Each structure stands twice: as structure tokens, then as C-alpha cells.
């Protein structure tokens, strides 16, 4: 199974509401990253949180990381229709000097106007 798995697979909310997506992983990580993908486009990096950090903010985004539970959450506050996209978590792991970024299957967020 994937190293990072997002939950839920799909989320539909009304504009102005908050959206919370979760990511669980299995092995120790160096950092965890969140990306956004609009339909038919490439991924856009949103935020990176290191393994020794617990919370990080960027604009309307808040990411938390709980290494004891091997989980992370992405909160988007006051959502807008333009936030409609797929959101992926990616975990950075290493073996010696080799690093690897592993992506989950994503959460499809729909924000209804």
C-alpha cells in the first residue's frame, strides 16, 4: 500500500466552510509535503513540514504533523470555489543518502459556490 494515504477520498463543502484533509503514513519521515492539483494540470507545492515541527501556517492553510500517530492534516479555512482541486500529501523518506518522495492517492475537494 501507499506510504501516504489521504482521507477522505472526496470532500464536498460550501464556500466559506473549512475543509480538513488527513494523511497517514507508515514509516519514519524526514518531512511531509502537501501539493494541490487542478484538473488536467501539474502539481503545485503548498507547504512542507519537517519531522521536528508540529504545525505550520501559510495564508489560509494550516498543516499539523503528529509523528507519534504518523499522521498529518491540512486545513483550508474560509474555502473558495477556486480551492476546488485534488490535494496530495507526499512523504520524504531516506535510506542512507538516497531520498524518496512518495505521493498518496489524493483527496478530491469540491467547493460549491
- Under 8 Å CB-to-CB from 47, ≥6 apart: which residues? 33, 34, 56, 58, 61, 63, 74
For 81, list phi and psi in degrees, rounded to 5.
-55, -35
> Which C-beta is closer to other proteins: that of 34 or that of 83?
34
80 contacts other proteins (rule: CB under 8 A): no
31 contacts other proteins (rule: CB under 8 A): yes
61 contacts other proteins (rule: CB under 8 A): no
Alpha-carbon gap, residue 67 to 62, rounded angstroms: 16
**Chain contacts with other proteins (rule: CB under 8 A):** 2, 4, 30-31, 33, 40-45, 48, 50, 88, 92, 94, 98-106
Amino acid at each position: 500500500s501507499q506510504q501516504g494515504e489521504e482521507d477522505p477520498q472526496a470532500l464536498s463543502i460550501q464556500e466559506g466552510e473549512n475543509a480538513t484533509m488527513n494523511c497517514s503514513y507508515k514509516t519514519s519521515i524526514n518531512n511531509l509535503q502537501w501539493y494541490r492539483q487542478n484538473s488536467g494540470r501539474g502539481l503545485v507545492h503548498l507547504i512542507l513540514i519537517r519531522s521536528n515541527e508540529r504545525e505550520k501556517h501559510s495564508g489560509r492553510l494550516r498543516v499539523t504533523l503528529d509523528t507519534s500517530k504518523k499522521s498529518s492534516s491540512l486545513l483550508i479555512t474560509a474555502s473558495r470555489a477556486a480551492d476546488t482541486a485534488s490535494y496530495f500529501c507526499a512523504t520524504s523518506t531516506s535510506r542512507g543518502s538516497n531520498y524518496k518522495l512518495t505521493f498518496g492517492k489524493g483527496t478530491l475537494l469540491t467547493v460549491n459556490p
